[in-house]
Amino acid sequence: MILPTIFFLTFGMNAQEKALKSQLQKGSVFVEMMDSGTFEFFANTAIPMGMSSRNLVGDDYSVKFSEEKITSDLPYFGTAYSGMGSRKDQGLRFEGKPETYKVVKVSDKEYIVKAVVNTDEDNFEITMSVSDSGYADLIIKSRKRDVISFRGEVAKPRK
């Protein structure tokens, strides 16, 4: 009776230690990714101002972040202001070197990303809150459109 109990406790502790070690390694990978400033946001939900949210799961919309370039391939739902012309709306598809780019750790469990990207067509102010679980809320402000928010996940960028 004693031998099986010792065996069970030993295996139980090893499994717990392995799980904790795995979580810590996963956490350090997340911290390294965020501290590097290079990651990709994958949108799951669009939340247009004054409209119902829209499910984007499976549509492969994302924003790639780095100090050198931000590339957005997101849809847009909402009101466009003057200056958009009569061309068909292409969503929030833009890329450019960020004029400003900051990734700030605000607590053990949260990062804030702030960036400004100016293109020939518009200026984009990006703010994203990222939890240590990898879930994120992204807000994009534009001079020519209403504000729009997205919910999704942050991970290492795809190649």
pLDDT value at residue 19: 41
pLDDT value at residue 2: 56
Measured between alpha carbons, how far is 83 from 144 in angstroms, rounded to an integer?
7
Contacts (Cβ under 8 Å, ≥6 apart) of 111: 34, 103, 104, 105, 129, 130
Amino acid in the structure at residue 117: V
pLDDT value at residue 8: 44
Q: Note the pTM of the prediction, 2 decimals.
A: 0.79
pLDDT value at residue 121: 86
pLDDT value at residue 10: 44
Amino acid in the structure at residue 80: A
Distances in whole angstroms, Cα of residue 49 to Cα of each of 3, 73, 124, 130: 64, 19, 16, 21
pLDDT value at residue 91: 87
Answer whether 93's CB lies under 8 Å from 69's CB: no
Measured between alpha carbons, how far is 83 from 113 in angstroms, rounded to an integer?
28
Q: Which residues of the chain have pLDDT under 50?
A: 3-25, 86
Domain boundaries, the chain: 37-155
pLDDT value at residue 108: 86
Q: Is 62 left (phi over 0), alpha (psi -120 to 50) or beta?
A: beta
The fold adopted by the segment(s) 37-155 is Lipocalin (2.40.128)
CA dihedral sign, ordered 154, 155, 156, 158 = negative
